[in-house]
Each structure stands twice: as structure tokens, then as C-alpha cells.
Structure 1
Amino acid sequence: MQITNNISSSYNQINLVKKTKETAKTSFASMLENNIEKTEKKEEMGKYVTYLDKFNIFDSFSAEDRKIFRKILRDDKLTLSEIDSLSYEQAERFRSIGIAPGTFLSEEQFNNCPILTSSNQVKDMLDSTRKTNNKTFNEALYRTAREIKDDHDRSEILGEAQLQISTLLSNSGKSSGVNQWDWDYDNMNIDFSKFLNDIISKYEELIANPPNKNPQFIKQQQKKLDGYNIILKHFNDIKNENTRYA
């Protein structure tokens, strides 16, 4: 009888030790998880995110986008690698808080908004997603902005493309007439394939038959031609991708 009691007592002690270890293990895992959550929350609390939270800006995004966008913005800066981590569709949506929070804020609120640091290339990429009402062309500009690393060269070709679009819209009555950049996005109706090929032909002609033999003039036209060829390449690539995955 004594032997049975000893065996039972030993069994209970073993179970108690086992449960204690399991409880300790669970508590440690829970503590670790809580610490991770606290760290993530702390990392999210940059000035920019905190300010936007005052106006519930992130509520307009899906749960997935909200999590990704807050993580990107948590340190009050945007990097090229962070933008590269987004799909183009996400970049389109991210633009509104990445470079244009005024979309959600009043003028006074926008003026008080903390600064979000980013490179010119990042700004150009995000800005390209809203240049026209043609998604394929916008994405071609986006990829072009990603490809051209030099700020001056990139700004020059994107500005040139914007000027040519503005000229086309002004001639067709799709510009306000007051501000050449004030476009009627919903009714642009531009054949961008024709638009790009026409401009490329124009610059090829200028280079082949320049109005003057100034080497600098020819060099400038060649640089513009090279830029438009990059845009056209991406434009055609995207069209082919869309056809392939349709």
C-alpha cells in the first residue's frame, strides 16, 4: 500500500513539473509576442503617421494596405526599396498619403503636416501614377522614373512628356485654358501609342535634319528621343503583359 502511494505521489509531482514548464513556456511565448507587438506599435509612432492618425486617414484603405503603408511611413521617410516592395496598384493608392496628403487634409491641416523625407526619384515615381487617365501610360512613366537614376535627366524627360500632353490637350480643348496643367482627366481620350510614336518620329526627323548644326542642339534632341524610347518600351511591355495575363 505504501508503495502505491509513493508511485502516485511521484506521478503527480512529474505532472506538476511538466505543467509548470508548459505554463512557463506559454508565458514566455506570450511575453515575447506582446513585446513584438509593443515594438511594432512603437516603430509606427513616427510624427507623420501620428499626425495622419488624428484625421483617421488610414481608415480609407483596406486592412492589408493600411498595415503595409503604416509600416513604410513609421520612420517619417520613404526609400526606393520600400516603393519597390509595392505592386504598381499599391503605389497608385499609396501616392495619396506618400506625396499628396492634401487630398485628405484641409489647407491648414496640410500646412501643419510633419515632413516626410524621400528622394526626388521616389516622388517622381509616385507622381507618375496620376499623370493621365490611362493606367498603362502612367505605369510606363512610373517604370521610366524608376529606370532613370539621374535626377536632372529624369526630370527633363518627365517634364517634356507632360508638356507635350498639355500641348495636345490644349489643342483639343481638354485643358482649362487658364492653367495648362489643369487637365480634364476623365475625358483625355489620348491614343498614347500614337502619341509616343508621333513624338519619337518628330525627334528622329529633328536629329536627321536639324534646323542648325549646333552639336548641343542635336545632343538635346537625342536625349529627349532616348527618353521617349524608354517610355515607349515600357508602354509596349506593359501592354504585352496585360494581354498575356488577361
Structure 2
Amino acid sequence: MQIQNNQTTYYCYNQNSNSVNKNSSSNSFDINLENEENTKKPTSKMIEYLERKGKFSSLSEEDEALFKNILEDGVFSANEMKRLSYEQIQVFSDMVNFAKNYNEDNPISKDDFPPYLLSSIGTYLSSEKTNNHSFNKALYETVKNIQNDKDRMAYLDAINSALGFNDNQGYGQLPKHIIDNMIKELNKLEKEKYKDFENPENLIKDYNNWEIKDYKNFIDNLKNSYKTACVNSALSIETRAMYQMFYQNTLTLEENYNQIQKETKYA
């Protein structure tokens, strides 16, 4: 608004407008410069921080240019995720990992905290997502091609929930004693839930067996549960549509997983 007012003043005066024109140009330049610097603040903080730590030094010129381009606005979007291969996302996510950078820096005050990169995809899907490389890569290749942001977030939430303690970016990163206590409480709840049923031992889920050892079977079970849910007439139309979306994406996850397993086998 200030710039528009200055411009109006300039056009309203002729002979006496020189000083007004100079002030207007100067003010406009200062405002534009200030706006430009404000826009660059998130970018310069993240990029300058990584440069100061030498994080770009081991990258190829192409990867360095790509990563800096992605970091320009301080937000990691779904479209930017599509530009990265699985191998690149591992390097990228490691570079911008707030917890890792925090532990390396050991800051004394909040002012010394490393910059935080916002993400619109919910997770960076690193190679440490689970202890299974093929599943991690298959999940990344699946999720990055989900077009709708809400669908992507909902699907990731469903996967994270299904992984439980196997999710190293979720419950799996909790200290062991906390996980052990949670398992005890969950087992108690299961026994209470089915205490009045016949043969409760056939219904009770044993949370001690939380570790996923066969991810092919895990994906297959997910697929079947979503397939059943999406045709369950007891559920609302919206809920069934959500499970249909989960089912379709899990079919893709299964295809990606099988392909990666095949490539690994014959590598």
C-alpha cells in the first residue's frame, strides 16, 4: 500500500515531483530489498547451516544444485520428493535430520538450535524407517507417486500404525524399557477385552510378537484387510472409499516390493 501511495504522489505532481520521486524510488527499493531478504531467511539459514558444516562437500555438483534448489523455500514438498531417487532421499534426509544435527551440535540455548526443514509429506521415509531395506524402498516409491496430499498423509498414517514398534521413525525409536512397559499394558488390555469370550486364547493378540520378520506376508495381510474393509457395508461410504484407496496403494506397494526383491536377488 505504501508503494502505491508513493506512485500516486509521483503522478499527481510534475514540476515539484523530483524529490518525491527520489524518495519514492528509495522507499520502494528498500521495501523490495527487505521483502527479498525476508523471503530468503529460511533458505539462507538452512543452506548456510549445511554449508558451514560441510554437508555439501561430498555431493556431486548435480546433487548439490538439486538439494539447494529444494531447500530454497524451507519446505520439502511432495513434488520435490518426486525429483529424488531413493538413494538421493537417503542422503537428503540424513543431511536435514534435525535430531541428528541437534545431537552433533549439542546446542546450549534455543538460539543455537539447527534449522528445521518443514515437510508437507509427513515423513522423509529414510532407509531407517524399518529394518527391511526392500520395504523401505518400496514404501518410498509408492508414496511419492500418490498424487493427492491428503491421501498420501492418510496412507502413511495407516502404514505407520500397522508397523507399530517396527517403525523406527515412530514407536520404534522409544527407549526399550518404555516399549516393554507399553507391551505389558497392551497385553493386559487384550486379556480384559476378551475375558468373557469362549476360547479367548484364540482371539487375544500377543504384543510380545510385534517384530515383523516377513514383510511380504505383512504387506499381503494389509492388502487383504483393506480389501475386506472397503466392501464392508457397515462402514460409511467415506470410510469405504478411504480403505479402497489404501487397498489400491497397497497393491502398488506389493508390486514395488516384489520388484525390488527380484532385483536384489539377481544383482
Q: Scaled by the length of structure 1, what TM-score is found?
A: 0.59
What are the Cα deviations for residues 69-91 of structure 1, in whole angstroms up to 9, with x where unaligned? 47623635456676555442232
Instruction: Specify which of 237, 243, 246 is matched with residue 221 of structure 1.
Output: 243
Residue deviations 1:32-75 (CA, integer Å, cap 9, x gap): xxxxxxxxxxxxx9321222344x252xx772358834762363
Distance 1:128 1:211 in 2: 37
SS in 1 for 2:59: helix
The DSSP-based 3-state class of the residue aligned with 1:176 is helix
- Candidates 200, 210, 217, aligned match of 1:194: 217
Alignment partner of 1:190: what SS? coil
- C-alpha separation between the residues in 2 aligned to 1:138 and 1:241? 15
- Bigger mean CA deviation after superposition, 81-90 or 188-197: 81-90
Q: Give the 3 Å change call, closer, same or farther, for CA 80–73 of structure 1 in structure 2.
A: farther
Q: Equivalent residues in 2 for 1:173-188 (5 A)? A: 176-177=179-180, 188=211
Q: Considering only CA atoms, is the larger Rg found in Structure 1 or Structure 2?
A: 1
DSSP-derived class of the 1:147 partner = coil
User: Residues 62-77 of structure 1 correspond to what in structure 2 (within 5 A)?
Assistant: 63-64=58-59, 68-69=63-64, 72-73=67-68, 75=72, 77=74
Correspondence 1:204 to 2:227: yes
- Contact conserved, 1:203 with 1:222, CA < 8 A, in 2? yes
Question: What runs of 5+ residues in structure 2 fail to find an aligned partner?
Answer: 1-42, 184-209
For the structure 1 residues 76 and 111, does the alpha-carbon distance in structure 2 shift closer, same or farther, using more than 3 Å as the test?
farther
Instruction: Provide closer, same or farther for how the CA distance between residues 110 and 85 of structure 1 changes in structure 2, counting only shifts above 3 A.
Output: farther
TM-score (norm 2): 0.55
Compute the RMSD of aligned alpha carbons: 3.7
Is 1:162 aligned to 2:165, yes or no?
no
Give the structure 2 partner of residue 132 of structure 1: 130
Counterpart position of 1:88: 86
Which residue identity lines up with residue 202 of structure 1 in the other structure? S
User: Which is helix-richer, 1 or 2?
Assistant: 1
Which residue of the other structure, out of 144, 147, 152, is the alignment partner of 2:150? 152
Separation in 1 of the partners of 2:261 and 2:180?
A: 32
Output one character per residue of 1:196-219: Cα deviation in whole Å (capped at 9) or x when no partner.
1012122323345x2626433432
